[in-house]
Structure 1
Amino acid sequence: MELTPLLLKEFAQEALTTRKMLERVPGNNFDWQPHPKSMSIRQLTTHIAELPTWIPLVLNTDELDFASSPYTPQDIKDTPGLLEFFEKSLAEGSSALQTANEEQLHDIWVLRNGEEIYSKTSKAEFIRITFSQIIHHRAQLGVSLRLLNIPIPGSYGPSADDPNF
C-alpha cells in the first residue's frame, strides 16, 4: 500500500476544517490570549498556518535542530493575511507530498534541540505528527474562539454552533 495517496487525502481533509477555523479569527483579537501561558491568537494561528510547510522541510532534510535553526514567525497582521499565508503553506505542503516517493517516506527524520532528541521517526510518521500538530493547535484555537463567543464550525461532525454541518 502506498502512503503518499493516504497522506494527501488526509492533508486535504484537514485543510478544509483548518480553513473554516482560520476564517473565523477576528482581526481585532489577534493579540488576545486566554491565559498568560497560552499563545496569543496571532501566535497560534500563525503557527497553524505555517505547519503545512513542515512537509517539504521533513521531505527535503534529515532533521530540524532548534538549537541551530532560530525561529522567525511570519508577521501576520489580519485575517486576510493569515488566510493568504495558510493557502501558500498548503500549496507548498501539497506540492511536496505529490512529488514525494515512497522510499523517501521511510527515511528517518529527527526533531531535536541540540543533544535533546524530541522525535526520531520515519518521514511518513513525522508528516502524520505534523497533521496531529495542526489538529491539536486547531483545538486550542477552538477554545479561544469559544471564549470570545465566536461560533465554532463543525469539524468531524456538527458543532453546537453548526448543527447542520
Structure 2
Amino acid sequence: MISQYLLEEFESQVPVTRRFLERLPGDSLTWKPHPRSLTAGQLAYHLAFVPGGVVRGAQQSQISPPAFQFPQPASVLEVLETFDQSVATVREVLPGFDDAAMNATWRIVDGDKEIAAMPRVAFLRNIMLNHWYQHRGQFCVYLRLLDVAVPSSWGPSADERSALQPEPQPA
C-alpha cells in the first residue's frame, strides 16, 4: 500500500528531524542569518509543523492556495510540542489513504483557477517529505552558523558520525 511506504519513510526521518530541532538554542529563536530570512525559531516551527499540516491538507480533494505564515515560537518546547502533534497527525491520517485515494487527483484552486493538480501521492511525496527535507537542510545551515553541532542525517556531519559509519578502531 502506497500510504504504508510513505509512512515507513516518514517514521525513519522523525528521530532525525527531532535531533535537529532539539539542538536549537533557546536564546537564538529570533536570530536570522539575513534580513530576508526566517528567524531560527520560525524555521524550526515550520519544520515541526509541515508534515501534519500537509497531511491534513491532503485529506481534502482540493485546497485554496496556502497563506504562508511563519509563527514566532516562544520556546524550543513549543517547537517540540508542535512537532509531536504533527507526527501524531501523520500517524493518524496517512494510513487512512488507500491506493485509490493516493492515486486520485488532488488540487490547489484559487476561485475558478486551478493552480496545481497532481496525484495525492505526488503532493505528499513532494511537500510532506521533500519539502520537509529541504527545510531540514536549511535548518542545518542555521545550526552551523549558530556554532551548534550539526546532527548526522543520511550521512555524517562534520560533528557526528552516521549510524552507517563504523567507529574508528584503536590502532
Identity of paired residues, percent? Answer: 30
Q: Tell me whether 1:82 sits opposite 2:79 in the alignment.
A: yes
How far 1:84 moved relative to its partner?
A: 1.0
Aligned residues: 160
Q: Give 1:50's aligned residue.
A: 49
Return the alpha-carbon distance in structure 2 between the equivalents of residues 143 and 113 of structure 1: 34
Residues 113/133 of structure 1: CA separation in 2 closer, same or farther (3 Å cut): farther
User: Paired residue for 1:160, among 158, 161, 169?
Assistant: 158
Q: Structure 1: where are the runs of 5+ without partners?
A: none
How far 1:74 moved relative to its partner?
A: 5.1
Residues 95/162 of structure 1: CA separation in 2 closer, same or farther (3 Å cut): same
When the two chains are superposed, the root-mean-square deviation of aligned CA atoms in Å is 1.9
Where does 1:5-154 land on structure 2 (aligned, <5 Å)?
5-53=4-52, 54-58=54-58, 60-66=59-65, 70=67, 73=70, 76-111=73-108, 115=113, 117=115, 119-129=116-126, 130-154=128-152
Return the alpha-carbon distance in structure 2 between the equivalents of residues 133 and 72 of structure 1: 16
How far 1:29 moved relative to its partner?
A: 0.6
Deviation per CA, 1:36-64, whole angstroms, max 9, x where unpaired? Answer: 12111121111111111211221x21222
Residues 112/135 of structure 1: CA separation in 2 closer, same or farther (3 Å cut): farther
- Structure with more relative contact order (C-alpha pairs < 8 Å, separation 6 or more): 1
Return the alpha-carbon distance in structure 2 between the equivalents of residues 94 and 61 of structure 1: 17
State the TM-score, normalizing by the size of structure 2: 0.85
Q: Structure 2: where are the runs of 5+ without partners?
A: 164-171
